[in-house]
Amino acid sequence: MSSVLQTSTAAPARSTNLAMAILALAMGGVGIGVTEFTMMGLLPEVEQGLGVSTPEAGHLISAYALGGGGAPLLAAVGAKLPRKHLALGLMVFFTVANLASFLAPDYGTMLVSRFAAGLPHGAFFGVAAVIAASLVPPTRRGWAISMVMAGLSISNVVGVPFATWMGQTYGWRLLFILVGLIGLLTIGLVWKFVPFHEAHPDASIRRELGALKRLQVWLAILIGIVGFGGFFATYTYIAHTMTMVAGIPSSLIPLVVALYGLGMVAGNIVGGRIADRSVMGTLYKVLPGIAVALVVYAVAVQWPWSAFVMVFVVGASGSMLIPALQTRLLDASPDAPSLASSLNHAALNVANALGAFLGGLVIALGWGYTAPALVGAVLALLGLGVAITSGLLERKRPLAA
């Protein structure tokens, strides 16, 4: 491990303290997941409430995603701050921005507030992953990171369905009040349970940006963009696939989403465990596994019972990739961990856009609603090719210890 992580790591935390610290960081992921994904299910209510068209309402989701692209910059700017303080500052910003969305009087203001709410997204996950990794021995980093990332997965199982129901029943703006409350809870938990460590004396914006000079960092980012793009190509059009191909009633779509979320939780946990054994080995196994799962999914969605099973499998296989990618970026840039970690989430945002675009393209070409899954399988195999290239280059020039 790097000197940066070593100097900020005290003796391994006691199990109770460790659990509460990771819970505090994961709670931030719950809030982020709720505000990001619930908007997709409340678009009709948003359109009516703001008096805008469907594409205009969709721009609110795009604005949030664009804000998330600022993660590396925020991580670099906050390099000199103690990581606990950076996490607190990002969550305060996130909470205030969501409360501003609740108060936004018109579409233009809402657009700005949604962009602002997205800004801390990736940076918070990045610093949270670094904090979690610093609390455990190097052999448990993958597990610790996966537990923090589990907050995002759990939000899709519990938080998003609840927030969607609440918004449909009592008003869509209450979503932002709920997220604000989760943000306040996260701030309190992080303040109380996450240990304080001084920032590394050599930390600086320039040092963090130095991560961008490393080829292995860019290869890890490319693995995330291409390899995970297939996950989003499938997820984006899952409602249409389930209703129009599998013949599942639209009333059961919340169950489909919940199964996907449960798969993500399971995959995240398993992915963290196997990443602790071998990061590159995990990438070599999971990426072809995603490709196989997506091909089987494209066939299995012809029948409702097998569609339900494969929704869970696809969610699990895709999320297994995240802890290994996060750990790989930390290994590839040990002296700039905050920026490197945040880059993973910037890559996933690009993967989201890439997968949704390519999936929509093949549907527009008339290839059907199972075609995005086949596109996803090709992307996963391309991601495997990038991973193999990265591994071969590492044999010639090992990563810095």
pLDDT digits (tens, 9 = 90+) for 133-180: 888 888 888 888 888 888 887 888 888 888 888 888 899 999 999 999
> Are 257 and 278 found together in one domain?
yes
Contacts of 317 (CB under 8 A, 6+ apart): 263, 267, 286, 289, 290, 293
Q: Which of 203, 224, 252 is the last residue of a domain?
A: 203
Q: Which of 203, 220, 244 is the last residue of a domain?
A: 203
> Are 194 and 289 found together in one domain?
no
Q: How far apart are the first and last CA of the chain?
A: 6
Please report, as a single letter, which amino acid is at residue 222.
L
> Are 215 and 295 found together in one domain?
yes
pLDDT per residue of the chain (401 residues) written in tens, 0 to 9: 444 444 444 444 566 688 899 999 999 999 998 998 778 667 778 888 999 886 677 778 778 877 877 777 777 676 677 889 989 999 999 999 999 999 999 999 999 999 999 888 888 988 888 888 888 888 888 888 888 888 887 888 888 888 888 888 899 999 999 999 999 999 999 999 999 877 665 555 666 666 678 889 899 999 998 988 888 788 767 777 888 899 988 778 778 878 888 998 899 889 988 999 999 999 999 999 999 999 999 999 999 999 999 999 999 998 899 889 988 988 887 777 767 777 777 787 778 778 877 888 888 888 988 999 999 999 999 999 999 999 999 988 887 54
d(CA 246, CA 240): 9
What residue has token string 């097998």? Answer: 306
> Are 360 and 381 found together in one domain?
yes
What is the pTM (predicted TM-score) of this model? 0.75
* Whole-number Cα distances in Å, 363 to 72, 217, 237: 33, 33, 10
Of 291, 278, 309, 312, residue with least CA distance to 376:
291
Residue 33 is part of a domain; what is its CATH number?
1.20.1250.20
Q: Which two tokens stand for residue 95?
A: 């909470």
Q: Which two tokens stand for residue 37?
A: 């994904």
> Are 186 and 218 found together in one domain?
no
d(CA 286, CA 265): 16
d(CA 240, CA 244): 6
Alpha helices in 135-247 (DSSP H): 141-154, 160-170, 174-193, 205-209, 215-222, 228-236, 238-244
d(CA 398, CA 401): 8
> Are 209 and 312 found together in one domain?
yes
> Are 315 and 355 found together in one domain?
yes
Q: Which of 203, 237, 270 is the last residue of a domain?
A: 203
State the virtual CA torsion across 330, 74, 33, 288 in degrees, nearest 10: -30
> Are 199 and 240 found together in one domain?
no
> Are 198 and 215 found together in one domain?
no
Q: Which residue range(s) make up the domain with 395?
A: 204-401
CB of 29 closer than 8 Å to CB of 182? no
State the virtual CA torsion across 200, 204, 209, 213 in degrees, nearest 10: -70
User: CA geometry: angle at 220 spanning 219 and 222, to 5°?
Assistant: 60
Of 8, 19, 11, 20, residue with least CA distance to 193:
20
> Are 68 and 189 found together in one domain?
yes
- Number of structural domains the chain divides into: 2
> Are 222 and 176 found together in one domain?
no
> Are 194 and 176 found together in one domain?
yes
